[in-house]
Amino acid sequence: MMVQTESTSDTRGRLAAVGAYVLWGLLPVYWKAIEHVPAIEILGHRMVWSLVFTLLLLSLRTQWTWLKDIRTHPKRYLTFIASAIILGVNWFTYIFAVNSGHIVEASLGYFINPLFSVVLGVVFLRERLRILQWVAVGIALAGVVYLTYHYGHFPWIALTLAFTFGMYGLLRKTAPLTSLPGLSLEMMLLFVPAVVFLVSLEIRGSGHFGHYSVPTDILLIITGVATAMPLLLFAYGAKRIRLATIGILQYIAPTLQFLIGVFVYNEVFTTARFVGFCFIWVALGLYTVEGFIYRRNRAIPPPLR
């Protein structure tokens, strides 16, 4: 009976994690549906409605004890000011990339992100890389240099997304709050500037909410759900499945983004870009396989002598 229960938990965990990455991968379709709204305005609504949605979830779960701890030990939560700002930059860059026809370059950022996170671990957490991991990072760096040369410009969208998401992960790794309370606190910090900005748009008569169409209003409100739901699914899944499984599943999102950019929205994908992406894909493959073999070898007990 115990084995069956654990198996069911693993299955639910995998389904939740897959659901999170699929939702993240399909986000370009959502942002494209409101591409007539400026990216900065979408960002403001995303911050506001994300707070509304997360507070609703906190109310349903009665998870409010962390607020008392914040009042008692406010210095513990200074990290969330930085993580909130970084998250805002990441969100704006991604929305801008999608609605300006750079979905493929955005997907590159999230392909690079796992390897960039490894480098951040080395720099800030003093983690050590094995030889093949360094090789994978080197191949990825070569791919970025190659793409920079053939793009004709610095791939700032991809690298900004990789950098901000990597830094966000690093900050949240050491932060004292879990996923939902942490996101709620970040949205609280961003709520006031977001509301001030949206109100200023209304005063100038350039806001879209309530002035364009009912479907647009609904989609702007649901940005809160689109933001929080995959995070909650991920948090549920990450607690129930192995880190190695998460490491493999994380490529679902950028793969879907890449396919959507090329085959749905017909973004240009030249041979030169394909070669550059191949560098990144080879690096990711090498890093994933090396990690899998390393963990498997450590799980095998040494032979008796």
What's the whole-number mean pLDDT along residues 265-289?
A: 89
Mean pLDDT, rounded, of the chain? 86
H-helix segments, 125-178? 131-151, 156-173
Q: Specify the pLDDT at position 9.
A: 62
Neighbours of 94 (CB within 10 A): 27
Alpha-carbon span 78 to 115, nearest angstrom: 27
**Domain chopping of the chain, boundaries:** 2-299
pLDDT tens digits, 208-250: 998 889 999 999 999 999 988 888 888 788 777 776 677 678 8
The tokens describing 172, both together, are 């949240």
Question: Which residue is it, tokens 């994300």?
Answer: 50
Q: Specify the pLDDT at position 82.
A: 93
The answer, yes or no, to whether residue 168 has pLDDT greater than 70, is: yes
Cα dist. 5→14, 47, 235 in Å?
14, 38, 20
Local confidence band at 104 (pLDDT 50, 70, 90 cut-offs):
very high
Q: Specify the pLDDT at position 60.
A: 87
Name the DSSP letter for residue 261: I
Q: Which amino acid is at 130?
A: R
The tokens describing 101, both together, are 């026809």
The answer, yes or no, to whether residue 76 has pLDDT greater than 70, is: yes
Q: Specify the pLDDT at position 301.
A: 58
pLDDT tens digits, 142-161: 988 888 887 777 889 999 99
The answer, yes or no, to whether residue 99 has pLDDT greater than 80, is: yes
Q: Torsions phi, psi of 288, nearest 5?
A: -65, -45
Alpha-carbon span 134 to 131, nearest angstrom: 5
Name the DSSP letter for residue 263: I
Q: Specify the pLDDT at position 239.
A: 73
Contact indicator for 99, 35 with CB cutoff of 8 Å: yes
